[in-house]
Structure 1
Amino acid sequence: LSCSVYCPLLTLRSNSNSPCIASGSLHKLFSNFFFISIRRNMSSKKQTDHLERTASNYRQNALYPAQVCGIVTESETVKRLRIAVHPDFSFKAGQWVDFYIPGVEKVGGFSMCSSPGLLQREGVVELAIKYAKHPPAHWVHTVCTVGSRVAMRVGGDFYFDPLPSGPAVDLLLVAGGVGINPLYSILLHTSDLLRLNQSSAGRRFNIGSAHLCYSAKNTEELLFKSSIIEKCGEFPNNFTCNFHVTQQRAGVEPHLQPFVKSGRITAEELQANVDPQRTLCYLCGPPPMIEAVSKTLMDFGLPKDRILFEKWW
């Protein structure tokens, strides 16, 4: 795995000849590819790496056609795709997709980095994909253009989908590298729910605080950092964050300095944001990081069933 409000500061390039197409025309455009892909998947005797790793996870039965309608460079190694999807497509904040590419045998596995709210408002989802030699990621960085056609199927048991008037919850989000993707989706979905609380006298979501601990090699590799800081400013009583950089050589930009710490995420920071009765922790990053952070949180009294994680490989 390459491991939820649209960021207005981010300008996604769109080819004027290939805009985000109306969702009603997607089924017609992709009908042949849609059925060919399903037959290939069902008849394949050998699963790809992503499908093998996630064989025991929940996934939807339907494979939906989609079309790339925007591409932006997030960092030197990461591209973000804006993808128009079928009107029946749906997902929960934190989930991933099986990513099918015409002519590419391997199936990709990428977490959504956008919110369900963006899908409802604009009919699009976003994926931020780091460069790799793995064929799906390599295709994104070397072949994919605005107008490229793909197909996607939602899966995953790692998500945040609270019910109105559900139990009170504080979120602790811990990300390493591109593991930020599903956590950013959860953060944006949380901000959508807080806006609903502000605008509705009826539906109330019992969300208290959300603290993000995000570790990367340097500030250049901190994805979505401006949007994350913006959310902390929009909801100062709810959102806080610390960016941890482990190999920073250049100076840190002034607007980032209040949020950046040198070195790995510390036990002290985790402990300061753990309430065993209220905290729900979502982790996504390299397996060693997940294991170390999970142990530390349990040492602080956070029950195992309140620590949810997604490992990326």
Structure 2
Amino acid sequence: MAHAVFVPGLSRGTTGAIFTQAALWRWTASPLCHLSLSSIMKSKRKTDHLERTASALRREVVAAAKVCEIAHESPTVKSLRLLVADKDFSFKAGQWVDFFIPGVSVVGGFSICSSPQLLQQERIIELAVKYTNHPPAVWVHNKCTLGSEVALRVGGEFFFDPQPTDAPRNLVLIAGGVGINPLLSILRHSADLHRDQANKRSSYETGTVKLFYSAKNTSELLFKKNILDLVNEFPEKITCSLHVTKQTTQISAELKPYITEGRITEKEISEHVSAETLFYICGPPPMTDFFSKQLEDSHVPKEHICFEKWW
């Protein structure tokens, strides 16, 4: 899971409560009480999610969730849709969840890839989990079934949550591999804001969104159909550049106009630098380090750069 690094001042409304001991005891009295207190409070290895995100803000609510849909997004990634009935459970686009699994002592950490509006309207969130030998990922890929129950707690300071009175901002989203997850949430949230503005349900003026997304090959470009659907729905507002670094098969006609073979380049990103643009980066640590440094060297204010590393 990712480690969040946030530059203060990027987004308004950075609020949250550290999870309290009293709240833990209230939660352990719930139907999911077979999750031990020790499994919530710590992980076995210092490199685990809870250790890496120990200083991150978390909401107080720990909510029960039930798996209602499972799908294969790629040969190595499974997606889950989870029903969360607790109306006190909410999140901002880009945040992650602590993922508590009955019988698994290690706590997972997975970025939410759905929009906040889906939760508000249908009480559903979506996660996409890459297979690794980490116990929570092993459980998702090998043991999780429809109806499986888990518990979730929202955390993280990497998010896009514009307020109605905020100045319009353009977004540049830079994703590598499964780093697409929080950026897809932001992309979907931006699309919801465009729809709300068009239907006069919101006064917030939305800017443009440019997604740069790199993966090994087209089969590992997660949610590509969803991304292209949004590009086609909002051709003047949402664009994407999909990169593949080790493609060995023919690229489909549908994808070809959007595909570049090779890594995302410094030049491509520099063309989008402006005073009105916010940059969100999520991917392997060398990638996030490279682009965040490049943006700083291009005199982008630090408060306009937000990045999250996945490990």
In the other structure, the counterpart of 1:211 is 210
In the other structure, the counterpart of 1:78 is 77
Partners of 1:46 and 1:214 lie apart in 2 by: 33
Partners of 1:2 and 1:284 lie apart in 2 by: 8
Residues 2, 129 of structure 1: 8 Å contact kept = no
Partners of 2:101 and 2:41 lie apart in 1 by: 17
Residues 99, 110 of structure 1: 8 Å contact kept = yes
Partners of 2:200 and 2:273 lie apart in 1 by: 29
Shift of 1:93: 0.4
Partners of 2:227 and 2:178 lie apart in 1 by: 15
Q: List per-residue Cα deviations over 1:83-109 (Å, max 9, x = no partner).
A: 011222100000000000000010000
In the other structure, the counterpart of 2:248 is 249
Equivalent residues in 2 for 1:255-294 (5 A)?
A: 255-275=254-274, 277-294=275-292
Residues 44, 106 of structure 2: 8 Å contact kept = no
In the other structure, the counterpart of 1:7 is none
What secondary structure is seen at the aligned counterpart in 2 of 1:183? helix
Shift of 1:39: 3.0
2:167 is aligned with 1:167: yes
What secondary structure is seen at the aligned counterpart in 1 of 2:235? coil
Residues 95, 158 of structure 1: 8 Å contact kept = yes
2:228 is aligned with 1:229: yes
In the other structure, the counterpart of 1:151 is 151
Partners of 2:72 and 2:287 lie apart in 1 by: 27
What secondary structure is seen at the aligned counterpart in 1 of 2:133? coil
In the other structure, the counterpart of 1:195 is 195
Would you say how many aligned residue pairs link Structure 1 and Structure 2? 286
Q: 1:295 aligns with which of 254, 278, 293?
A: 293
Shift of 1:152: 0.6
Q: List per-residue Cα deviations over 1:258-307 (Å, max 9, x = no partner).
A: 100011101121011111x1010000001100011111112222111111
Q: 1:39 aligns with which of 37, 40, 54?
A: 37
Shift of 1:127: 0.3
Overall identity of the aligned pairs, in %: 52
- The more displaced of 142-151 and 86-95 is 86-95
* Alignment root-mean-square deviation, CA: 2.0
Write the letter of the residue equivalent to 1:58. L
Write the letter of the residue equivalent to 1:140. V
Partners of 2:173 and 2:36 lie apart in 1 by: 35
Residues 101, 136 of structure 2: 8 Å contact kept = yes
What secondary structure is seen at the aligned counterpart in 1 of 2:107? strand
Residues 99, 107 of structure 2: 8 Å contact kept = yes
Write the letter of the residue equivalent to 2:132. A
Write the letter of the residue equivalent to 2:254. H
Write the letter of the residue equivalent to 1:237. E
Residues 2, 308 of structure 2: 8 Å contact kept = no
What secondary structure is seen at the aligned counterpart in 1 of 2:100? strand
Write the letter of the residue equivalent to 1:292. F
Q: 1:287 to 1:44 in 2, by over 3 A?
A: closer
In the other structure, the counterpart of 1:14 is none
In the other structure, the counterpart of 1:306 is 304
Q: 1:153 to 1:312 in 2, by over 3 A?
A: same
In the other structure, the counterpart of 1:18 is none
Partners of 1:251 and 1:105 lie apart in 2 by: 43
Shift of 1:118: 0.4
Q: List per-residue Cα deviations over 1:3-45 (Å, max 9, x = no partner).
A: 9xxxxxxxxxxxxxxxxxxxxxxx9xx9231x45473356659
Residues 175, 212 of structure 2: 8 Å contact kept = yes
2:88 is aligned with 1:88: yes
What secondary structure is seen at the aligned counterpart in 2 of 1:212? strand
Residues 217, 246 of structure 1: 8 Å contact kept = yes
- The more displaced of 283-292 and 204-213 is 204-213
TM-score by length of 2: 0.88
What secondary structure is seen at the aligned counterpart in 2 of 1:32? coil
In the other structure, the counterpart of 1:99 is 99
Partners of 2:228 and 2:104 lie apart in 1 by: 37
Partners of 1:301 and 1:58 lie apart in 2 by: 28
Residues 38, 63 of structure 1: 8 Å contact kept = no
Structure 2 residues not aligned, in runs of 5+: 4-25
What secondary structure is seen at the aligned counterpart in 2 of 1:284? strand
Q: 1:37 to 1:63 in 2, by over 3 A?
A: farther
Partners of 2:83 and 2:141 lie apart in 1 by: 19
Residues 242, 259 of structure 1: 8 Å contact kept = yes
Partners of 2:272 and 2:36 lie apart in 1 by: 44
In the other structure, the counterpart of 2:131 is 131
In the other structure, the counterpart of 1:51 is 50
Write the letter of the residue equivalent to 2:288. I
Partners of 1:120 and 1:300 lie apart in 2 by: 39
